[in-house]
Structure 1
Amino acid sequence: MDYPIGEGEVKLVSTDWLEKKKKEDIKILDFQPNVHDYIYEHIPGAVYFNEGLFRSAKEGVPGKYVPGKNIENIFRSLGIKKDEPTVVYTGKGEFKGWGDGLEQTMAAYTLARFGHENVYLLDGGLEKWKNEERELTKEYPETKESSFKVEIKEELFLEYREFKRIKDQEDVLLLDARPLNLYEGQGPWMKPGHIPGAVNLPWKNLMQSNPRKLKSIDEVESILEDKGVQRDKKIICSCGTGREATNEFTLLNWYLDYPDVYIYEGSFTEWCAYPDNKTITGEKPR
C-alpha cells in the first residue's frame, strides 16, 4: 500500500514514513496501555499519553467523553498543537502485555474529535517497528506547553436521541464491531446480544494479527461488500463502549473516504442503560 492513506484529519502511515519524518517538526504520542510499557521502551521522541484520560462516567453511565475543557488542559500540558503533524501508536506493552491495538485508533479519533487537524496513525504500531529492529529508547523528550483550543467536531458522532431516531431508517446501516460471541450472547452488559438492526463486523476481521496491521485494501473492501457496507448508505459504527468502533470509523471515514459515516459513542453500554430498549440475541441483526 502507498502511504499516507486517507483524507482529512486522520491518515494511516507506515513505519518507513515515520522513520524518515521523526527528526522533522512532528509530535509523536505513545499510547501503550500502561506507563511502565512506555518507561520500558518507546520510539525516540515519543511522549506518553494514556487513553484512559479521555473518558469517565456521566450521569452514572460509563465510557462517556470528558468535557472539552478537561481535554484542553491535557493537550496543552503535552505540547499538542492542532495543526502540527502528530503520530499516534501503541503496542501490546512489553512490560504489562495489556494492549489490543485499539489504543491508537481510539487516540486518533479522539484527537480529531476535539479539534486536531493533522493526525497520523502508525500502521502496525510499535510491534511492526520492533519487528523491523528500528531504534527504541528509554529517554523522555522535552515538551513545551501549547495553546491548544478544543473545538468539538459534532459532525463525527451521534448522540443517543439522534441515533435512536435514525437507526432503523432504510438508508442506514448500523455496524457492531464487537466479537461474534458478544454480539450473539451475553457479555458483561446487563442485557445480552446486540442493538436491533446491528450487523456484526468484528474489528479484528479487518486487521492482520501480528503485527496489528490493516489488511490490504482489496481484502478490506471484500469484507465490507460481504457485510453490505455501501457508499450510498448512512453508516453508523458502534460496539460496546465506542472504542472498538473507532477502528472501523477511521477506516471508513478517513482512509476510504465514505461520504456519510458516524460513530455512536455511547454504543451498547448506553443503549442498555435505558430499560425499555430491546436487544436481540443470535447471529441475525433482527
Structure 2
Amino acid sequence: MQPFVPASWVRDRDVAVVDVREPWEYDSIGHLPGAVNVPFDAFRSDEGEAGKLPPRGEWEALLSEAGIGSDAEIVAYDDTQGVFAARFVVTALLLGHDPGRLHVLDGDFSSWQREYGTTTDPVDPTPAEYESDPDAETPLVDFETVRDLLPAVDAGDVTLVDTREEWEFEEGHLPGAVQLDWRELVDEGTRGLRPENELRALLTDRGIVPEKRAVLYCNTARRVSHTYLVLRQLGYGTVDLYEGSLTEWRERGGELVGNE
C-alpha cells in the first residue's frame, strides 16, 4: 500500500484525481488538470454506515456522478496538508475500495502549484458505474471492540492513539491513550509528510511501533484518517480505526480520563 504519492507520480499516470475543496476554491482558484470536485461535506454524514461514513448508496451515487468506476485508481488532494483528502481516501477504503488503488497527493494544492500548472477549466465527467463492496475486509473497529481492548492497552499490548491536539487530549481522552497530533507528521514547508526517519523517530518516541497493534481515534474520524494512512505508508501491520471516535465514546458513556 502506497497511500501518499508525489506530484510527479500523479502527473505521469492515468488516474482519477479528486479535489475535495469547496466548489468556490475549485472554480475560482483553480484545480489540477482533469480533477473532479467532490467537496468534503458531500461525503460526510451523521446518518450513514458508521460514525461519519456516508450511506453506501449515496457514496456510490456520488462517485458514479463524478465519473469514478469501482476499479479506478484514485488520487485525492486538498489545500490543507492532506487531512481532508485522507478522509476521502479512508472513506473509500472503509466502504470497500481496493486500498492498493487509493492515494493522497503528498503535499496539497499549494505544493502542486510550485511545480506544475493548474486550470480553471470546467471538468464534465462522463458518469460511471460505481459499486462498493460491503463484504470487503476493512480496519474498522466499533465501540465494543475498543472497550474490550482497554485491558490490553493497560498491559502495553495495544497502543491506543489520540490524534487530536494536546489541549483536547488533556481535557479528556480514552484510558491509556497516547497523544499524537496529526499535524506533527507533516512538514510546514513542503506541506507534505516529514522525512521517513523523522516520522519513525517521532512515532517510536510515543510508543507507536510497527510490531504492536494500534487503534486510532480523534473526535469525528477526520484527523485519524491521515494518521492511519501515514502508518500504512510506513509499513505498520495492524492499524485499526475507531470510526465513532470520541463523539460516540462520550455518547455511549465510555470512560474518559483528563481534566473533565
Could you state the TM-score of these two structures normalised by the residue count of structure 2?
0.90
**1:229 correspondence with 2:212:** no
Count the aligned residue pairs: 251
Residue 165 in structure 1 maps to residue 148 in structure 2: yes
Q: Among residues 241, 254, 260, which one is paired with 2:220 in the alignment?
A: 241
Structure 2 letter corresponding to 1:235: A
Are residue 180 (structure 1) and residue 157 (structure 2) matched?
no
Aligned to 2:86: 105
> Which residue of structure 2 aligns with residue 206 of structure 1?
185
CA distance in 2, matches of 1:38, 1:168: 47
Aligned residue among 272, 277, 286 for 2:250: 272
Question: What letter is aligned with 2:114?
Answer: N
Structure 1 contact 127–210 (Cα < 8 Å) conserved:
no
In the TM superposition, residue 71 of structure 1 has moved relative to its aligned partner by 0.8
Relative to total residues, which structure has the larger helix share, 1 or 2?
Answer: 2
State TM-score, norm by structure 1: 0.82
Q: How far apart, CA to CA, are the structure 1 residues paired with 2:196 and 2:151?
A: 29
Identity across matched positions, percent: 27
Whole-Å Cα distance in 2 between the matches of residues 148 and 167 of structure 1?
Answer: 38
Per-residue CA shift, 1:185-224, capped at 9, x if unaligned?
A: 2xxxxxxx11111110111111112442100000000001
Deviates more, 1:235-244 or 1:210-219: 210-219
User: 5+ unaligned residues in a row in structure 2: which ranges?
Assistant: none
8 A Cα contact 2:216 2:241, kept in partner: yes
Q: Runs of 5+ in structure 1 lacking a partner?
A: 1-6, 92-98, 186-192
Amino acid at match of 2:90: Y
RMSD: 1.9
2:69 maps to 1:81? yes
CA contact (8 A) 2:94 2:139 kept: yes
**Is residue 19–residue 35 contact of structure 2 (8 Å, CA) maintained in 1?**
yes
Counterpart check, 1:17 vs 2:4: no
CA-CA distance at 1:19 after TM superposition? 2.3
Structure 1 residues 74-93: Cα deviation after superposition (integer angstroms, max 9, x where no partner): 111111123222111111xx
**Offset at 1:181?**
0.8
In the TM superposition, what is the alpha-carbon distance from 1:115 to its structure 2 partner? Answer: 2.3
Q: Deviations over 1:16-61 (max 9, x none)?
A: 222223xxx32111011x11000111111000001222222249xx
